[in-house]
């Protein structure tokens, strides 16, 4: 493993790839710091720029954007009291309280260091856990893959919406979308209505761009005339002291582990990790009353937690082919475009890509820390970029991105239609993530269900006679019941 | 019970129920070949999905009805029904209309001209007053075109004008 990692470093430190990583991290920070632009949207609209690249280069750049954007969300949260991404919502109170005390530099540097810790811990866990999980996943057969898909959908549907039924409706709508096109077994065209463009089914990327970028831009238009809050000028650039960092380091490490584990669960995103980490830090603190008034652990915990997700979300993606969150779903789309199928065989067939990705994540987190600590002065300028200019740019980039996949105007049509659908979904509080995950997992669920039934000669007994499928059923029911109980006691954060 | 029509969840339940019925009924038009003339054919999975979708829709409708029944007539609609007001949706709808026109014009007038017009239209809709935004629009479009055309070798729609 070590020599593969070294090879990964060698491939990243080349003149073709390293600048892309720098560009990705910096671009991600800028996107994340603009209120309203999520990490998912950032990766979706910049995905088309990677089409002409090698698989390693494309993944390195996208992962750089992901890492940067999750951290960038805290900049607007701290300076403007408006989270740049949903994942940074938990950072708002303590971060902005420090800014009001004239300690913007302390808040921003604390956020950068905590994000770095979260990212680093989760990448190390990704590197150590993934090969083991991939070996285990090699034992999977059709029934296990079917139940894995159902498990992923159950979790994402139950945690991504305040209303579980609406989460599941979203998931089943996605499964319906996945059946559009030729039936994988018989070749019979389903729901194509004579349109030959739909024979191969809906392309994932145009749907993703529509649901996440176009829909979000349309939502932004609703309040665009509201006066944009001007940024708090960073008057004091003094960084957080080493002693303070040492004091909060146990909180950071604990939150990083929690974020990674939450990220490993298909469907649980950075926003959930940030809130859980924040609550846990507050619960276990000797001074919980200080939280919300500029307390450093109140910044360190959510930031380490949300960046912890970056590595965790890639564990199920790389080992099982199941994305951990919406960004991982886009990365899956990027891999498919490059002709690579994620899953346990990826470690056998394309180790250079996997270890190139691991290395780029380690370096990407270091770059994020360097940029985060050295560019504090410029952050207030970034958050001042007017939305009135950004929204039209996003829409035009969305059109270009969807066209560039196949040089096909039909994909632009799909993007625009799903942009409108996504807009109504957001307004109706139906989460988009289950739809996307179902669209990706649908073919896997369908073909493996049909294979399983054939394997068992028309019986469904594979559901209760195989240990791993039983384990997935138990986990699915457990997650469903737990999230129902949690929702009764408190509303969960919105889908991001 | 008039409040039920103001509930977003009611409409979500109704639309998904109709979608479920539609999907289920369309599966009857799928022709089965002799080899797959059993329950595992092309209709198998869509039918499962549509049935579960209908059940979920009924559950959502039922919970909405129960919630409305338990609340008094004078109570406000609750949930996020204010999200669907004309005031909030007029700008997004104007832009959706522009995007539809843009899609049809793209083949005719090419990416650069159509995208610049779309950009300007959106700036107008969102009442952007700064003149420099209107200058930035064509510059941005040309940069995007050049990056895709010459760096990524992707030929964006050129229309009859050739760019």
Q: Which domain holds residue A215?
A: 2-489
Interface of A with B in 393-432 (CB under 8 A): 393, 395-397, 399-400, 403-404, 407, 409, 412-413, 416, 419-420, 423, 427-430
Facing residue for B42 by CB, picked from A183, A221, A409? A183
Q: Is residue A494 part of a domain?
A: no
Query: Which of A214-223, A248-257, A483-492 has maximum average pLDDT?
Result: A248-257
Residue A347 has pLDDT above 90, yes or no: no
**Beta carbons of A112 and A250 less than 8 angstroms apart:** no
The mean per-residue pLDDT over the stretch B88-108 comes to: 90
Residue A352 has pLDDT above 70, yes or no: yes
Q: How many domains would you assign to chain A?
A: 1
Higher-confidence residue: A41 or A64? Answer: A64
Average pLDDT score over chain B:
84
Q: What is the ipTM of this complex?
A: 0.90
Alpha carbon distance B135, B141 (integer Å): 11
- Give residue A163's pLDDT band: very low, low, confident or very high (50, 70, 90): confident
DSSP state at residue B7? -
- Give residue A36's pLDDT band: very low, low, confident or very high (50, 70, 90): low
Provide the shortest C-alpha distance from residue B72 to chain A (in Å). 22
Higher-confidence residue: A377 or A276? Answer: A276
Residue B58 has pLDDT above 60, yes or no: yes
Query: Which of A85-89, A222-226, A273-277, B30-34 has maximum average pLDDT?
Result: A273-277
Name the helix (H) or strand (E) containing A9: helix A2-12
Higher-confidence residue: A176 or B155? Answer: A176
Of A120-124, B37-41, B112-116, where does mean pLDDT reach its minimum? B37-41
The mean per-residue pLDDT over the stretch B89-117 comes to: 91
**Beta carbons of A137 and A125 less than 8 angstroms apart:** no
Q: Are residues B92 and A225, on separate chains, in Cβ contact within 8 Å?
A: no
- Give residue A174's pLDDT band: very low, low, confident or very high (50, 70, 90): very high
Residue A168 has pLDDT above 50, yes or no: yes
- Give residue B26's pLDDT band: very low, low, confident or very high (50, 70, 90): very high
Residue B35 has pLDDT above 60, yes or no: no
Check if A19 contacts B (Cβ < 8 Å).
no
- Find chain A residues with C-beta within 8 A of B11's C-beta: 428
Q: Is residue A93 part of a domain?
A: yes
The mean per-residue pLDDT over the stretch A271-290 comes to: 85
Q: Is residue A37 part of a domain?
A: yes
| Angstrom distances, CA of residue A434 to CA of A270, A307, A324, A344 | 15, 22, 11, 23
Q: Are residues A183 and B133, on separate chains, in Cβ contact within 8 Å?
A: no
Can you give the pLDDT at residue B140?
A: 92
The mean per-residue pLDDT over the stretch B113-140 comes to: 91
Domain ranges of chain B: 2-83, 86-151
Instruction: Suggest the residue from B8, B95, B106, B130 to mutate for an interface test with chain A (most A CBs closer than 10 A).
Output: B95
Q: Are residues B60 and A169, on separate chains, in Cβ contact within 8 Å?
A: yes
Listed in sequence order, the residues at least 6 apart from A283 whose beta carbon sits closer than 8 Å to its beta carbon are none
Q: Is residue A58 part of a domain?
A: yes
Residue closest to A372 by CA, chosen among A9, A44, A118: A118
The mean per-residue pLDDT over the stretch A98-125 comes to: 90
Alpha carbon distance A247, A249 (integer Å): 6
Of A74-78, A154-158, A386-390, where does mean pLDDT reach its minimum? A154-158
Facing residue for A409 by CB, picked from B89, B133, B157? B157
Q: What percent of chain A has pLDDT over 70?
A: 93
Of A22-31, A198-207, B28-37, B139-148, where does mean pLDDT reach its minimum? B28-37
The mean per-residue pLDDT over the stretch B71-78 comes to: 57
Provide the shortest C-alpha distance from residue A281 to chain B (in Å). 32
The mean per-residue pLDDT over the stretch A223-238 comes to: 64
Can you give the pLDDT at residue A494?
A: 41
Residue A418 has pLDDT above 90, yes or no: yes
Count residue pairs from A and B with Cβ separation < 8 A.
162
Q: Are residues A176 and B50, on separate chains, in Cβ contact within 8 Å?
A: yes
- Find chain B residues with C-beta within 8 A of A445's C-beta: 45
Residue B62 has pLDDT above 90, yes or no: yes
Provide the shortest C-alpha distance from residue B73 to chain A (in Å). 23
Higher-confidence residue: A137 or A468? Answer: A468
Q: Are residues A420 and B59, on separate chains, in Cβ contact within 8 Å?
A: no
Q: Is residue A409 part of a domain?
A: yes
- Find chain B residues with C-beta within 8 A of A409's C-beta: 103, 106-107, 157
Residue closest to A404 by CA, chosen among B73, B156, B131: B156
The mean per-residue pLDDT over the stretch A284-294 comes to: 85
The mean per-residue pLDDT over the stretch B60-88 comes to: 73
- Find chain A residues with C-beta within 8 A of B40's C-beta: 185, 450, 453-454
Check if B95 contacts A (Cβ < 8 Å).
yes
Q: What is the DSSP string of A202-218?
A: --HHHHHIIIIIIHHHH
Contacts 24+ apart (CB under 8 A), B1-5: B1/B68, B1/B69, B2/B73, B3/B68, B3/B71, B3/B73, B3/B75, B3/B77, B4/B64, B4/B65, B4/B68
Scanning A81-214, the segments in alpha helix (DSSP H) are 92-100, 104-137, 142-159, 164-179, 204-208
Residue B152 has pLDDT above 80, yes or no: no
Can you give the pLDDT at residue A412?
A: 92
- Find chain A residues with C-beta within 8 A of B66's C-beta: none
Facing residue for B156 by CB, picked from A51, A165, A403? A403
3-state secondary structure of A182: strand
Residue A313 has pLDDT above 80, yes or no: yes
CB atoms within 10 A of CB B14: 14
Interface of A with B in 26-65 (CB under 8 A): 48-49, 51-52
Alpha carbon distance A337, A55 (integer Å): 9
Q: What digits encode the pLDDT tens for the residues A429-459? A: 888 888 888 888 888 889 889 989 988 888 8
- Give residue B16's pLDDT band: very low, low, confident or very high (50, 70, 90): very high
Listed in sequence order, the residues at least 6 apart from B158 whose beta carbon sits closer than 8 Å to its beta carbon are B110, B111
């Amino acid at each position: 493993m070590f020599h593969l990692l070294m090879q990964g470093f060698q491939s990243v430190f080349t003149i073709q790839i390293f600048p892309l990583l720098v560009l990705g991290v910096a671009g991600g920070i800028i996107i994340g710091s603009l209120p309203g632009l999520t990490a998912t949207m950032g990766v979706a609209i910049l995905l088309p720029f990677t089409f002409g690249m090698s698989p390693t280069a494309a993944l390195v750049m996208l992962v750089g954007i992901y890492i940067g954007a999750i951290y960038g969300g805290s900049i607007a949260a701290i300076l403007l009291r408006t989270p740049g991404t949903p994942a940074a919502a938990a950072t708002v109170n303590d971060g902005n309280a420090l800014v009001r005390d004239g300690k913007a530099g302390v808040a921003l540097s604390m956020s950068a260091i905590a994000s770095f810790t979260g990212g680093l811990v989760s990448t190390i866990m990704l590197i150590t856990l993934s090969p083991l999980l991939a070996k285990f996943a090699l034992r999977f057969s059709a029934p296990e893959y079917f139940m894995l898909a159902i498990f992923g959908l159950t979790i994402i549907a139950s945690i991504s919406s305040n209303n579980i039924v609406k989460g599941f409706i979203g998931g089943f709508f996605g499964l319906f979308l996945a059946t559009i096109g030729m039936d994988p077994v018989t070749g019979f065209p389903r729901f194509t209505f004579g349109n030959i463009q739909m024979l191969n089914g809906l392309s994932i990327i145009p749907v993703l761009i529509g649901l996440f970028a176009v829909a979000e831009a349309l939502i932004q238009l609703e309040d665009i005339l509201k006066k944009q809050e001007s940024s708090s000028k960073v008057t004091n650039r003094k960084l957080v002291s080493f002693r303070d960092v040492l004091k909060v380091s146990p909180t950071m490490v604990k939150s990083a582990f929690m974020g990674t584990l939450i990220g490993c669960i298909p469907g649980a995103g950075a926003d959930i990790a940030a809130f859980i980490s924040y609550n846990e830090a507050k619960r276990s603190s000797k001074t919980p009353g200080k939280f919300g008034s500029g307390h450093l652990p109140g910044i360190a915990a959510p930031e380490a937690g949300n960046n912890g997700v970056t590595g965790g979300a890639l564990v199920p993606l790389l080992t099982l082919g199941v994305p951990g969150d919406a960004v991982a779903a886009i990365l899956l789309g990027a891999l498919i475009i490059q002709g690579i199928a994620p899953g346990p065989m990826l470690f056998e067939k394309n180790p250079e890509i996997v270890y190139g990705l691991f290395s780029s994540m380690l370096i990407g987190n270091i770059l994020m820390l360097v940029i985060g600590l050295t560019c504090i002065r410029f952050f207030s300028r970034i958050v001042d970029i007017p939305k009135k200019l950004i929204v039209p740019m996003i829409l035009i980039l969305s059109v270009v991105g969807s066209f560039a996949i196949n040089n096909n105007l039909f994909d632009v049509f799909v993007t625009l239609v799903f942009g409108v659908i996504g807009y109504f979904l957001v307004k109706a509080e139906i989460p988009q993530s289950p739809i996307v995950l179902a669209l990706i997992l649908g073919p896997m669920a369908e073909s493996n269900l049909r294979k399983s039934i054939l394997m068992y000669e028309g019986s469904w007994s594979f559901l209760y006679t195989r240990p791993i499928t039983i384990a997935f059923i138990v986990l699915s029911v457990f997650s469903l019941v737990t999230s129902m109980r949690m929702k009764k006691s408190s509303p969960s954060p919105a889908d991001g | 019970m008039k409040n039920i029509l103001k509930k977003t969840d009611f409409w979500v339940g109704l639309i998904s129920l109709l979608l479920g019925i539609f999907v289920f009924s369309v599966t009857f038009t799928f022709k089965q070949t002799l080899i797959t003339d059993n329950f595992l054919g092309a209709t198998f999975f869509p039918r499962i999905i549509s049935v579960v979708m209908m059940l979920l829709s009924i559950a959502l409708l039922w919970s909405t009805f129960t919630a409305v029944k338990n609340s008094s007539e004078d109570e406000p609609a609750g949930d996020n029904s204010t999200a669907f007001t004309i005031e909030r949706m007029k700008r997004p709808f104007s832009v959706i209309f522009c995007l539809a026109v843009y899609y049809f014009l793209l083949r005719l007038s090419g990416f650069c001209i159509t995208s610049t017009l779309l950009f300007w239209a959106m700036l107008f809709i969102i009442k952007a007053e700064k003149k420099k935004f209107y200058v930035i629009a064509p510059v941005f479009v040309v940069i995007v075109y050049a990056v895709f055309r010459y760096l990524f070798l992707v030929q964006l729609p050129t229309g009859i004008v050739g760019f």
